[in-house]
Amino acid sequence: MTPDNHHLEADLLALVRSRGADHARVEPDTDLIDAGLLDSLLLTDLILHIEERYAVAFDASDVSPANFRSVATMAELVRGRSPAAQSA
């Protein structure tokens, strides 16, 4: 089954918000790149988290601004790449 949109965003949002005071106000559509909140540590943590929990594989060519601009774009990426979505 394709991951539920609401739960997927909430899951990724919780990870991002856990990074400190500056991240606590992040919303699904917050531009993490323009806000200077997406550093290499957070990005690798997000990728590992997604790979482990949703069985979605990434490589370096996936690390693009379009894919990781916001929690919403990340959720969209996971939904499109999840095994359930691909077999549908």
Partner 1 sequence: MKWPLQDRPVPDDRIPLYNRFYLHAPRASHVDPTMVWGTEIDADALQVFLRERNRGGKVLLTTAHALIRATALALAQYPALNVRLVGRRIFAFRDVSIRTAFVHRRTGEIDVLLISAADQKSLEQIGQEVWQRLLQAARGKGPRDRDRGRLRETSPFWFRQLLRMYGFLDRHFRLPSVGRLDELRGGAAMVNDLSFPGAPPIRSYKPTRFPDPSDSLNLTLGAIESKVVARGDGFAETHVMPLFVRADHRLVDAYQVGRFVAAVRDLLSHPERLDAAATTPQAVPVAAASQ
Q: Which residues bind partner 1 (CB under 8 A)?
A: 19-23, 33-34, 36-41, 43-45, 47-48, 58-61, 63-65, 68
Task: Give the separation between CA 53 and CA 34, rounded to whole angstroms.
Answer: 27
Q: Report the sign of the C-alpha dihedral through residues 17, 23, 25, 30, in that order.
A: negative
Could you tell me the smallest distance in angstroms from the CB atom of residue 88 to partner 1?
A: 27
Considering the complex, state which of residue 1 and residue 60 has its C-beta at the smaller distance from partner 1. 60
Beta carbons of 75 and 36 less than 8 angstroms apart: no
> Which residue, 65 or 83, has its beta carbon nearer to partner 1?
65
